[in-house]
Amino acid sequence: MTDTTGARELATVYDIHRSATPGFTPGPATLQGSVKPSDASFRFGASGGQFTFNQTAPSGATYYYQVCARNAAGVSGVCPEVAASDVPLASFQASVLLQGRPAPPDPTWSVPLTVTLTLSGQGAPAYSFAPTTDASGAFTLTGIVPGTYDLRVKHSHTLQNRQTVTLAAGANPPTAVGALREGDANNDNYVTLLDFSILVTTFGKCTGTPGYDARADFNGDACVTLLDFSLLATNFGQAGQNKAAAALKPPARTVNLTLH
């Protein structure tokens, strides 16, 4: 932690906390030790501070460590968390299907995703990833403690898919996530008139054209056309899989989506 000139250290102490629960709240009961910038183990340079903290923890378990910066003004509001384990970790490859694109492999199948893994019974994700799929829609996740997780996968303009995965140590069988439904231009996990409004505003425009909005380019061809309208219309009124089925109420009357 440095001041705006990057010339000196602002934190006077770094507190190291440990818990067996991810996303824990640090406090006196979780404090394992502290490191000061003046300690021999602390090194500070242009790229920030680094220090080594060695601890022997019970084997066969995973622990979560948070480092909290502190000075006379108080404790930093953000305490980064990392997991440490001597348990063999798991990895797996997953794949998604993308609507409205040519048959894979094709460059339009390479898209950024938001992926989370949440342990059963937990509210906060244990892992968050931002992989980019390959030209066939596949991606690989590594460094995961074995267990049963709620897997959630979303692209910025698709609805989210959700399923349960059980991972063993080592490489696991591939997981098919299924088709990510297009049309969620505003990334709220619903396809509604709000998304249709975004599409209408940029309809008929391509990359480089004033007013082009890539959020409505659902098939990844760099233009907003009837193909994108068709994808939105197909999934209109649907919600992503982390929403309750009753969360999206059916309209009182039929909504006709028409482009002029």
CB count within 10 Å of CB 47 equals 8
Look at residue 15 and give its three-state secondary structure: strand
Residue with tokens 């894979």: 104
Q: Are 187 and 158 part of one and the same domain?
A: no
**Last-in-domain residue among 70, 85, 100:** 85
Strands 170-180 and 90-98: parallel
Which structure tokens are listed for 133? 């799929």
CATH number of the domain within which 151 lies: 2.60.40.10
| Cα dihedral 102, 108, 110, 113 sign | negative
Tell me how far apart the terminal alpha carbons of the chain are, to the nearest angstrom. 55
Bond before 26 cis per omega within 30 degrees: no
The reported pTM is 0.66
Supply the range of the domain harboring residue 219. 183-260
**Last-in-domain residue among 68, 85, 102:** 85
In the beta sheet, which residues pair with residue 31? Answer: 17
Distance CA 148, CA 172 (A): 13
Is 121 domain-assigned?
yes
* pLDDT digits (tens), the chain, 260 positions: 443 344 445 778 889 999 988 889 999 999 998 888 777 666 655 556 676 777 776 666 788 899 888 888 888 778 888 887 777 889 999 999 999 999 999 999 999 999 999 998 888 899 999 999 999 999 999 999 899 999 999 999 999 999 999 999 999 999 999 999 999 999 999 999 999 999 999 999 999 999 999 999 999 999 999 999 999 999 999 999 974 433 344 444 444 555 55
Which structure tokens are listed for 139? 């991606």
